[in-house]
Amino acid sequence: MLHSTPWITKPLAIPWKLNHHHTDPKCNASQLENSTQESLTPEELSVVEIFKQARLSVVHIIALESARDLLKKEWEGIFGLPGEEQNPRGAGTGFVWDNQHVVTNHHVMAGSKEAKVRFFDSTEELEAKLVGTDPDHDIALLRLVQLPEMGMVPLTRGISENLLVGQRVYAIGNPFGLEYTLTTGVISGLGREIASRVGRPMFNIIQTDAAINPGNSGGPLLDSRGRLIGVNCAIASPSGAFAGIGFAIPVDTVKKVVEQIKQYGRAIRPSLGIFFAPEQLGRRLGLEKGLLILYLRPDGPAQKAGLLATKREKGSGRLILGDIVTSIDKHSVNRAVDIYRVLETMNVGDEVVLEIIRDGQRIEKKLTLEEMVEDNKQKGSEWFHRRQLTSRL
């Protein structure tokens, strides 16, 4: 698996300062016009056509710092505290989703609520507002306040479920501030698992050898018909520079996330209402398999179904272990990622069956999934005084 290698996975947004000398897109357009069809092979003509069509849908995104951040820096400057220039926060790539929205990576926005968007063959920077993000899948959705004169040209969306290793792919983005750069390659692998910026695993990731570099974040990965099949998000590299391994979020995942953000302003995550103890702690307590329930969200699905959490005995303070979950819908559970993988395919309101061990007996419990609720207290962590030890599912 990816995380077992010594390589690092790098997000691809770049500081705005790297982007102050962009390439004039008109130069690329004139080169295309001067190339005659007779001098190009059919394959080359096909690639040229893909770029000519897709470039109208690809945008350069400049994430802006929030007014709160700017006010903080202004006060820091007044009182002589260390401050930074009030510049745009970072830059990346995005693409047109529909007649008003643009998609990019969550990490491109980096907490910003507003952005400037620039289209191909234009120097005008259009205002865009953040509709919502999904940090777990590294997706952000922007709504354009101003629309381009040429109108919005959404990319045709493909299906990532049918992709094959070896098929041709094309990436368009703004690496190192070089706007509208096209790179080509193949799908090198499917079903990869990488960590999101918030540490959650992302599944079914597309691996490609098409060159992807800082500034490509949020840009489209296209198939040989110019259809959107993924959103470029990261590279694996021992140095931080492109080393032939890039990653893209599959379009099937993007479709689901974007529709949720459009409807609710956020991504909707199904939850069991359980905080699990980390695997290493369970093994230390003698568990050979399964995950120990540390804490249950009050009135959550698991508590409603009658599952038991770990607790301390009154008086003696002795630790009484809770239920041990060994499977979910017949899928074995030994790590938190095993449950993440199943929940990734499910929706709020779906029913799941957990197999648990309680007092040496195997029991099945049926739960109805509810929306994940942020619990800032994360009470399960109080047992071991380290919040990051628990897995919330």
The residue annotated as part of the active site, out of 57, 134, 137, 138, is: 138
The two three-digit tokens of residue 250, written as one number: 């599959």
Which residue's entry shows tokens 């003696």?
A: 316
Angle subtended at Cα 246 by Cα 168 and Cα 180, rounded to the nearest 5 degrees: 70
156 φ, ψ (degrees, to nearest 5): -70, 130
Are 190 and 184 in contact by the 8 Å Cβ rule? The answer is no
DSSP β-bridge partners for residue 183:
171
The residue annotated as part of the active site, out of 217, 271, 327, 391, is: 217
Cα separation, 306 vs 188, whole angstroms: 45
Among 119, 97, 371, 93, which Cα is nearest to 251's? 97
Burial pattern 235-256, b for ≥16 Cβ within 10 A else e, equals bbbeeeebeebbbbbbbbbbeb
Please confirm, yes or no, whether 107 is among the known catalytic residues. yes
The residue annotated as part of the active site, out of 57, 107, 112, 137, is: 107
Three-state secondary structure along 295-311?
EECCCCHHHHCCCCCCE
Q: Catalytic residues, which ones? A: 107, 138, 217
